Amino acid sequence: MSETANEVESPLVVCMVDNGRVVYASETSTQVSGFPPEHFQDRLVSELVHPDDRVVLSPLAMDGWTGEFDIAIRLQDSDGRWTWRRVRGSRKIDELGRPFAVATLRKIAQ
């Protein structure tokens, strides 16, 4: 996470990801991005992130990796602009061996 990046006062978005696919996005996603939660649901996280930022996600998707993360990525808003988000959360493995993550997202200023 860049030391120059500051969180902007914006609603916090809660997101749940099951094996790389968004299964839940909170209602606040509409306020933050202009997109309703349904826009994110059942989509791969890699489809939603700016292509240049996908490399940041690679370590988080490694087989068997679990732990906390705090990263900065760009997501596209409904107006087409790519906006930086601070994403904090944790990744775990469920009882069936599938990775899942719970994260919060907030806009950041660059």
pLDDT in tens, 68-97: 999 999 999 999 999 999 999 999 998 988
The two structure tokens encoding residue 107: 């806009």
- Placement of tokens 């904090």 in the chain: 88
Question: Is 75 in contact with 49 (CB distance < 8 Å)?
Answer: yes
Residue 84 forms part of a structural domain? yes
Total structural domains within the chain: 1
pLDDT in tens, 12-61: 888 898 888 999 999 999 988 999 999 999 999 999 999 999 999 888 88
Residue 92 forms part of a structural domain? yes
Residue 19, domain extent: 6-109
CA distance 74 to 59: 17
Alpha carbon separation from 25 to 12, 60, 69, 96 (Å, rounded): 11, 19, 18, 23
pTM for this one?
Answer: 0.83
Question: Is 84 in contact with 4 (CB distance < 8 Å)?
Answer: no
Return the CATH number at 27.
Answer: 3.30.450.20
Residue 1 forms part of a structural domain? no
